[in-house]
Amino acid sequence: MRVLITGGAGFIGSHLCDRLLKDGHEVIAMDNLRTGTVDNIAHLSGHNRFHFIKHDVTNYIFLEGHLDAVLHLASLPSPVDYLNLPIQTLKVGALGTHKTLGLAMDKGARFLLASTSEVYGDPLEHPQSETYWGNVNPIGPRGVYDESKRFAEALTMAYQRYHGVDTRIVRIFNTYGPRMRADDGRVAPNFICQALRGDPLTVYDDGSRTRGFCYIDDMVEGMVRLLHSDERLPVNLGNPSEVSVLEFAQIVLRLTRSPSEIQFVRPTDARTADDPKVRCPDITKAKRLLDWNPCVPLEEGLRRTADYFRIKLGLA
Ligand code: UDP
């Protein structure tokens, strides 16, 4: 296959580049490098089946030659990023999805949208299955991300129904691993870097909010299986082993053997506005349709991620 990956220099996008190249495909990574970095794909430069194009997908995309698949991952999924760049976040979900769907239609390519568990908002159904419509505050600070992805899903379904584009939608739950940015602001890089530096772990509020953490290799495996499947409705991918943020902090401290303390902080900015109180994927559908199950235990995944950050932070 000849595949375009938008957000190809980002965290999940760059791992997908690696995987699809390994599977023998030709990969074109597209990224505006606003939050993605060439460091994530530097090891691929010179690879004869890999190309990189610096481009912002909110603008018209011109690409020569055929394409078999478009994987649309360009996005600003970190709360720090979408709070700093709210309009860009809405544009990439709306205009970027429009441009990439148009490209897929023009090329007769399969289209995969990277959507998110954020479409469920602060959920009133727990765990969240794909049939749940969600509980999102459209006008809150977090709404720029949630609504951009909800719009992206609606647009993807419209292109499928009205233009016959062959689409897939993955709802990605919290995912972590090497190549996240140290300053990304999400809980895994924050806690790991704080623990490695000996700084206090910043647990927001009382640490009772819950998440399941999926290691990047499991996520990529699920996404590739979905791409090759026949399922045209959204599929959840994530790890259903639910832990509280406080438990997560304690696990990180134990694994890194860090002397850091836990500090309960009450952010006064918008970081925790509409922060979902609980989140856990119902992955029954992915198990049944894709024969997929996350298999990297949290402690193993965290060890690998800590090894990555030790080098990044110059502590190895
Ligand atoms: N969080 C925290 N301390 C941090 C960063 C995040 O307590 O330094 C909390 C955050 O409020 C949320 C959870 O960890 O309840 C997961 O946050 P993240 O930004 O990683 O992802 P989210 O699931 O909110 O998109």
Residue spans of the domains in the chain: they are 2-175+214-237, 176-211+241-280+296-312
**Ligand 1 within 6 A of 203 CB?**
yes
CB 225 within 8 A of CB 288: no
What is the pLDDT, as a whole number, of residue 71?
99
The residue whose C-alpha atom lies closest to atom 6 belonging to ligand 1 is 187
What is Dmax (Cα atoms) for the chain?
A: 58
Q: What is the mean pLDDT of the chain?
A: 97
Write the residue with the smallest CA distance to atom 5 of ligand 1. 187
Atom of ligand 1 nearest to the CA of 194: 8
pLDDT number for residue 308: 98
* Atom from ligand 1 closest to the CA of residue 190: 8
Our answer to whether residue 215 is catalytic in this structure is no
Q: Which amino acid is at 316?
A: A
- The pair of three-digit structure tokens given for residue 71, joined into one six-digit string: 């994987």
Query: Is the minimum distance from the CB of 204 to ligand 1 under 6 angstroms?
Result: yes
Does the pLDDT at position 215 exceed 90?
yes
Rounded to the nearest angstrom, the distance between the alpha carbon of 263 and the centre of ligand 1 is 14
Q: In the CATH scheme, what is the code of domain 176-211+241-280+296-312?
A: 3.90.25.10
Q: List the structure tokens of 5.
A: 């990956």
The pLDDT, as a whole number, for residue 268 is: 87
119-146 average pLDDT score: 97
Tell me, using a 6 A CB cutoff, whether residue 187 lines ligand 1.
yes
User: Which pLDDT score is estimated for 271?
Assistant: 86
Whole-number percent of the chain with pLDDT over 90: 98
Determine the Cα–Cα distance for residues 27 and 8; give it in Å rounded to an integer: 9
Helices 86-107 and 143-163: crossing angle in degrees, nearest 10, is 20
- In whole angstroms, what is the distance from residue 281 CA to residue 241 CA? 9
- pLDDT confidence tier of residue 281, bands split at 50, 70 and 90: very high
- CA 196 / ligand 1 centre spacing (Å): 18
- 269 — pLDDT class (breaks 50, 70, 90): confident
Contact in structure between 30 and 55 (CB atoms under 8 Å): yes
Residue 14, φ and ψ in degrees, nearest 5: -70, -35
Per the model's pLDDT, the better-predicted residue between 269 and 192 turns out to be 192
Query: What does the pLDDT look like over 180-214, one tens digit per residue?
Result: 999 999 999 999 999 999 999 999 999 999 999 99
Candidate from 242, 252, 275 with most ligand 1 atoms within 8 A of CB, to mutate: 275
* Cα 62 to middle of ligand 1, angstroms: 37
pTM for the full predicted model:
0.98
Q: Which CATH number fits domain 2-175+214-237: 3.40.50.300, 3.60.150.10, 3.40.50.720, 3.10.580.10?
A: 3.40.50.720
Catalytic residue (choose from 120, 145, 176, 215) = 145
State mean pLDDT over 263-288.
95
Determine if ligand 1 sits within 6 Å of the CB of residue 245. Answer: yes
Q: Is the CB of 202 under 6 A from ligand 1?
A: yes
Q: What is the pLDDT of residue 316?
A: 87
Mean pLDDT of 54-78: 97
Determine if ligand 1 sits within 6 Å of the CB of residue 166: no
Model confidence at 94, pLDDT cuts 50, 70, 90, reads very high
What pLDDT score was predicted for residue 89?
98
Cβ of residue 298 lying under 6 Å from some atom of ligand 1: no
Phi/psi of residue 221, each to 5°? -60, -45
pLDDT digits (tens, 9 = 90+) for 224-250: 999 999 999 999 999 999 999 999 999
The pLDDT, as a whole number, for residue 164 is 98
Q: How far is the CA of 83 from the centre of ligand 1 (A)?
A: 14
Going along the chain, which residue ranges are E strands?
2-6, 26-31, 50-54, 69-72, 110-116, 167-172, 175-176, 201-204, 210-212, 214-215, 235-237, 242-244, 262-265
Taking the centre of ligand 1 as the mean of its atom positions, its distance from the CA of residue 15, in whole angstroms, is 22
Residue nearest to atom 23 of ligand 1 (CA): 174
| β strands within 39-143, DSSP E | 50-54, 69-72, 110-116
The Cα 289–Cα 75 span in angstroms is 26
223: enclosing H helix or E strand = helix 216-228
